[in-house]
Amino acid sequence: MHRKILMLGLLFSLLAVILGAFGAHALKALVSQDKLQVFETGVRYQFMHAVALIALSLYGSQNEEKMGEQKAIGWSAHFFLIGIFLFSGSLYLLTLLSTSNYPWARFLGPITPLGGLCFILGWLLWLRVVFLYKVDK
């Protein structure tokens, strides 16, 4: 499980760098400054939580025999991943769709806070793991 979480963290970090470069260069000419800031917020949160996935995988690999801890780490990783898709993904789509006239794109606005809630739940679960389980060395 930790290898998968690590690989996903690395993949989403790579994608954040690529999307950041896209926003800084190609997107800059297409959207307004405030829309570009929305896009950059998505990149920042994606990168932050991709690095959190990497750290979570390394933390979880320290104590693999504790099943309750491993389940909570898995749930935390899932919440981070869902948060990346809902929070950052909706911000990317809102920015990209602002260049054209898609009235249905407004439904993406309420999705963003759901992604933020997933981030919060992921952090709370990880905090719970650290609180409840002692790392044996």
- Domain limits, the chain: 2-132
Residue 137 has pLDDT above 60, yes or no: no
- Residue 127 pLDDT exceeds 70: yes
**Per-residue pLDDT tens digits for 28-87:** 888 889 989 999 999 999 999 999 999 999 988 876 666 667 888 999 999 999 999 999
Residue 134 region by backbone torsions, left for phi larger than 0, else alpha for psi between -120 and 50, else beta: beta
**pTM assigned to the model:** 0.89
Cα distance between residue 107 and residue 6, in whole Å: 32
